[in-house]
Amino acid sequence: MEQRGWDELDFVLVTGDAYVDHPSFGAALIGRVLESANYRVGIIAQPNWRELNAFKVLGRPKLGVLVTAGNLDSMVANYTPARKPRRVDNFSPGSVGGLRPDRASIVYANRAREALPGLPIILGGIEASLRRLTHYDAWADSLRRSVLLDSKADLLLYGMSEFSLLTVAERLKRGTNDFTDIRGACYQASNAPHDVVFLPSYEEIAQDKTKFADAFRMAHGEENPFRGRTLAQRHGNAYVCVNPPPLPLTTQQMDWVYGLNFTRRPHPVYGKEGVKAIDEVEFSITSHRGCYGGCSFCALTAHQGRIIQRRSLASIVAEARLLTTLPNFKGYIHDIGGPTANFHVPACSKQAEEGSCRGKECLSPKPCRQLRPGHDEYLAVMRAVRSLPGVKKVFVRSGVRFDYVLLDADDVFLSELCEYHVSGQLKLAPEHVSARVLRLMGKPSHAVYQEFLARYQRTNTRLGKRQFVVPYFMSSHPGSTIEDAIELAEYLRDGRLRPEQVQDFIPTPGSLSTSMYYTGIHPLTREKVHVAQSAAEKNAQRALLQYFLPKNHSTVRRALRAAGRDDLIGYEPKCLVPPERHRGPSRRSSDKGGQHANRDD
């Protein structure tokens, strides 16, 4: 502030992440957007929430305090799916865990109000966005009210809210504090406005889980920025009102946001410790926002939306050229993409003007007839960037939707992907093999995945390359039973696949899968869904996906016997685990010392 000649800030932005001045970090992006509009912004990164003075270090701002938990929900950042504290936090200096409070949006907002009374407190970021209504909190295993109420904030901006915030800033500058007409705004009111969709109240949901499913279905149906209506949910004597989402950004707006003057480095105060989270994105380029994949366990549609918003080719190439000038650049661009790399254009001609269809998905259970498949624009981006001087290789790491690839009339994209943008392994997320579980996940059928594998192999063979697919699978998703987990384990056995990591389903706020997990009901179809909620069943499903690890053998045996699948216990080729270790001579013992009897359990 002294170097800039500032004696006062317009905004203080409090964030739960270490400060990294890169467009992939929300605090940096919001800060640069406001700065470009001539607002004076100061960042307080990971303040000690136990010390009130930590929120006063930049003085009292003129207009307000902005609060974000960071790039992740703080409970996801702080705890494993088994609710054990994480010791590692890659968004903190030196990856040290524990530098942000649980439910950071609430804690930071309340401490900021104590330290700086009388100033507007405005919430934003993924945590606040997905907790804007009554939500299930897996870490407390209970319902929680809107984060707007518990934080006592004056306003919550959900989604990608750069331009909504600019409108708020302009009104604060003029001395007005009416934000009830701003898109993407969530506010508290004693009386609900006219022409709103009334959701079941917090109190109703607390008494009846089916009301939670109803509330999710109703809110989900209003996520279209063009046709969505304002929501109102009563909490006691007050209403939490949620306006329709912000309009999708134009290409010109996207170019402007990502063309701002970022240093693209962690703040120098962190020294050699640095911030590890920069490693994945330092030489990556965000080409677009939004995703119409429709995965049930992903809450992205409630945050970024389903409408693809993309940057121009010129903007992306300009950023790639900038990357080649950075001191640590070695010739490799790690990614060009978004939530799903190859969703580079809107799903259909009407999506960009009318939004997504109510009650329908673009790809699940089958591709919509209006879907406009094609990779021409994305191919043009990849070709332009990989031809730049100094660029040796451009990778695709943000995920390829394989069912969309199969919709192409030819194999041009797949061929170029294999030839230029894969380095030995392509990571994909089939997630499961059970038809029922895949349907509930909103994922394509297993047959579609197998078809992609065959085409991928043929393409690599034609190119003379030995490249493989690394699949990711999820355990304990709603709908998955022990029988489904056994089916997946048998698939892994037959394919000689031994996943090093298995993703346990995490019921994070805002997703369709979390609604299923809490209620046992699919909120859109009302069908009953099996939910693995006990630690024993979750452990069993996870162990089955890594049945080959000796530490899992006893758990797998119990699960197999409970399911009546004793045929998978033994030493035959189709068996998953050996029987218990016997004392004394083994039935298979021989003059070589009974090697099977002495096998580690």
Got the DSSP string for 26-48? Answer: HHHHHHHHHHHTT--EEEEES--
Q: Is residue 243 packed enough to be buried (19+ CB in 10 Å), middle (13-18) or exposed (0-12)?
A: buried
Q: How confident is the model at residue 9 (pLDDT cuts 50, 70, 90)?
A: very high
In the beta sheet, which residues pair with residue 288?
A: 310
Residues 6+ apart with CB under 8 A from 367: 373, 403, 407
Residue 593, pLDDT score:
38
Q: What is the pLDDT of residues 359-372, one digit of tens each?
A: 889 998 899 999 99
Q: How confident is the model at residue 600 (pLDDT cuts 50, 70, 90)?
A: very low
In the beta sheet, which residues pair with residue 187?
A: 241
Calpha distance 120→64 (Å, rounded): 5
Q: What is the pLDDT of residues 225-254, one digit of tens each?
A: 999 999 999 999 999 999 999 999 999 999
Of 122-136, 230-244, 270-284, 343-357, the range with the lowest mean pLDDT is 343-357
Residue 582, pLDDT score:
59
Does the CA dihedral 243-247-248-251 come out positive or negative? negative
Domain residue extents for the chain: 11-242, 424-601
Residue 358, pLDDT score:
87
Q: How confident is the model at residue 598 (pLDDT cuts 50, 70, 90)?
A: very low
CB 329 within 8 A of CB 283: yes
Report, as an integer, the average pLDDT of 523-550.
Answer: 96
CA dihedral 359, 365, 368, 374 (to 10 degrees): 130
Residue 592, pLDDT score:
37
Coil, strand or helix at 252: helix
**Residue 49 has which token pair?**
């929430």
Calpha distance 418→404 (Å, rounded): 16
Residue 590, pLDDT score:
37
Closest CA to 29 of 184, 257, 255, 254: 257
Q: What is the pLDDT of residues 187-211, one digit of tens each?
A: 999 999 999 999 999 999 999 999 9
**Residue 353 has which token pair?**
């003007």
**355: region left, alpha or beta (phi > 0 left; psi from -120 to 50 alpha):** left
The label of the residue with tokens 């134009």 reads: 250
Q: Between 300 and 312, where is the model more confident? A: 312
Does the CA dihedral 498-499-505-510 come out positive or negative? negative
Q: What are phi and psi of 173, to 5 degrees?
A: -65, -35
Residue 300, pLDDT score:
85
Q: Give the Cα-Cα-Cα angle 166, 168, 172 (nearest 5 degrees).
A: 115
CB 241 within 8 A of CB 188: yes
Q: Is the pLDDT of residue 586 over 60?
A: no
Q: How confident is the model at residue 137 (pLDDT cuts 50, 70, 90)?
A: very high
Query: What is the model's pTM?
Result: 0.93
CB 248 within 8 A of CB 352: yes
Does the CA dihedral 118-122-127-130 come out positive or negative? positive
Calpha distance 499→566 (Å, rounded): 23
Q: Is the pLDDT of residue 149 over 70?
A: yes
Q: Between 584 and 211, where is the model more confident? A: 211
Q: What is the pLDDT of residues 14-27, one digit of tens each?
A: 999 999 999 999 99
User: From the CB of residue 376, how many other CB atoms can be counted at a distance below 10 Å?
Assistant: 11
User: From the CB of residue 252, how many other CB atoms can be counted at a distance below 10 Å?
Assistant: 11
Q: What are phi and psi of 319, to 5 degrees?
A: -70, -40
Q: Between 598 and 486, where is the model more confident? A: 486
CB 477 within 8 A of CB 431: yes
Report, as an integer, the average pLDDT of 550-566.
Answer: 97
Residues 6+ apart with CB under 8 A from 567: 574, 575
Q: How confident is the model at residue 399 (pLDDT cuts 50, 70, 90)?
A: confident
Question: Taking the mean position of all CA atoms in its chain, how far away is CA 225?
Answer: 20
Closest CA to 146 of 138, 136, 120: 136
Report, as an integer, the average pLDDT of 539-556.
Answer: 97
Mean pLDDT of the chain: 94
Residue 511, pLDDT score:
96
Calpha distance 511→348 (Å, rounded): 24
Residues of the chain with pLDDT > 90, as a percent, come to 90
**Residue 477 has which token pair?**
């998703």
Calpha distance 566→558 (Å, rounded): 9
Q: Is residue 260 packed enough to be buried (19+ CB in 10 Å), middle (13-18) or exposed (0-12)?
A: middle
Coil, strand or helix at 189: strand
CB 91 within 8 A of CB 270: no
What kind of architecture, by CATH, is found in domain 424-601?
A: 2-Layer Sandwich (3.30)
CB 211 within 8 A of CB 204: yes
